[in-house]
Amino acid sequence: MKRSPAAAISDAVLYEGYLLYPYRESATKNQYRWTFGCLFPQAWCEHHDPSDRNYLRTEFLIAVTPSSQFDVRLRCLVLPQADEAAPTERDVFVQDIRVGTCVDRQRTESFSFVGEKGHAVDGQMTIDATEVGQDLLQVSISVWNTTQCDAARIDTRDRAAKFGLLSAQLSLACQDARFLSLTDPPEEFRSIADECRNEGCWPVLAGLPGSCDQLLVAPIILSDYPQVAPESRGEFFDALEIDEILTMRIRTLTDKEKVEMAQTDPRADELLRRTESTADDELSCMHAEMKQTHGPSPILMDDHVPESLIVNGIELRPGDQVRLRPSGRSDIFDMALDGRTATIETIERDFGDELYFTVTANCDPGRDFGQQGLPGHRFFFRPQEVEPLGRDTSGPS
């Protein structure tokens, strides 16, 4: 059954870094757990590694009505019990939370999982809300790892992970309400959104673009409405890598390496089977495809770039001559071109909305490459870094 966009991205975040190519237990990179958003016992964080955390906290905005309610699901991984072959997913589902019941009143949910070698992994979730405007609430949710353990016995991160909530995330759904984006909040609520504090996580709108009834609170900062590419056939646990490349690399493993991969973990075995059953036409579908994800930036529109700029009271446009006076001294070219004359080729605007002249140096024997827009012979200078000379020069200098 095809997963919803929200479920697919939630799974991708949950298992990101779970196991890395070459997907074998003996590989050096797989001697360490790379999952994001791990919540460790307080004893580990205080006595061994304060850069790790034992809690996450999210604050977000929700527009409500008298009948509004929402659900919260905590998802995480815990290390396997003796009869399990791999880390397993655990969740805590708090259902039908009526917004009126948690305004200025904290709700607490305690939970416990059985982890590796029967160790208990304990935690607590708190939920409360504050009215910050008419029909607008700021909801705060915290998740704590409350496992009690002897700090002297967990002297390595791997041992601490036995008591950890690995890859912890929150998924929320609401009824008769709508979540507001913290990444791009409505202008009238921007100042309120700026007051929201998130520690160890970031909330984004999930589901189909334009919907407001699902929220994903992930340990990885995502954009609103993140999606798994439809061409992807399944998890590779490494979303920053390319499915096509990983598929081809797995195919090149030796028979011995494939046996070890299959024995490493049930999910690694499933990945191997899926990869080996991928037909050539399915592999070609994974190849890069250019897509228009949104409308073109106005910065990229031709009419967003002026035809000329005023420098020292003189209008400069492409074709005019200038003397270069670089101010940054950021590289060797700033020193080599200082005082040289150059020809303005174009006026450009960058994504920081700053204007530049692109110039070719008159002394450059390869300036024709720069005139064609090729790199290495075309240089960018701010308006304050050039002196107008006019259109005629006496020769290269």
- Residues of the chain above pLDDT 90, percent: 54
pLDDT at 301: 54
**Tally of CA atoms within 13 A in the half-sphere of 173 that contains its CB:** 8
Give the model confidence (pLDDT) of 297-307 as tens digits. 555 555 578 88
Residues 76, 79, 81, 84, CA torsion sign: positive
Domain ranges of the chain: 5-285, 298-390
pLDDT band at 46 (very low <50, low <70, confident <90, very high): confident
Mean pLDDT, range 248-264, rounded to an integer: 94
User: What pLDDT does residue 1 have?
Assistant: 47
Which CATH number is 298-390 given?
Answer: 2.30.30.30
* Interval 275-281 mean pLDDT: 88
- The per-residue pLDDT for range 286-335, each reduced to its tens digit, is 776 666 666 555 555 555 788 899 999 999 999 999 999 998 777 788 88
Residue 255's pLDDT is what? 95
Residue 112 in tokens: 């416990």
Q: Which residues, other chains included, contact 391 with Cβ-Cβ below 8 Å and sequence gap of 6+?
A: 319, 320, 321
Q: What is the pLDDT of residue 81?
A: 59
Q: By three-state DSSP, how is residue 64 classified?
A: strand
**Arithmetic mean of pLDDT, 86-100:** 71
Per-position DSSP letters for 189-221, written without gaps between them: GHHHHHT---BS-EEEE-SSTT--SEEEEESS-
pLDDT at 50: 79
Say whether pLDDT at 218 is over 60.
yes
Taking only the tens place, the pLDDT of each residue in 135-184 is 999 999 999 999 998 877 777 888 888 889 999 999 999 999 999 999 99
pLDDT for 106 equals: 85
Report d(CA 125, CA 74) in Å as an integer: 9
Share of the chain above pLDDT 70, in %: 89
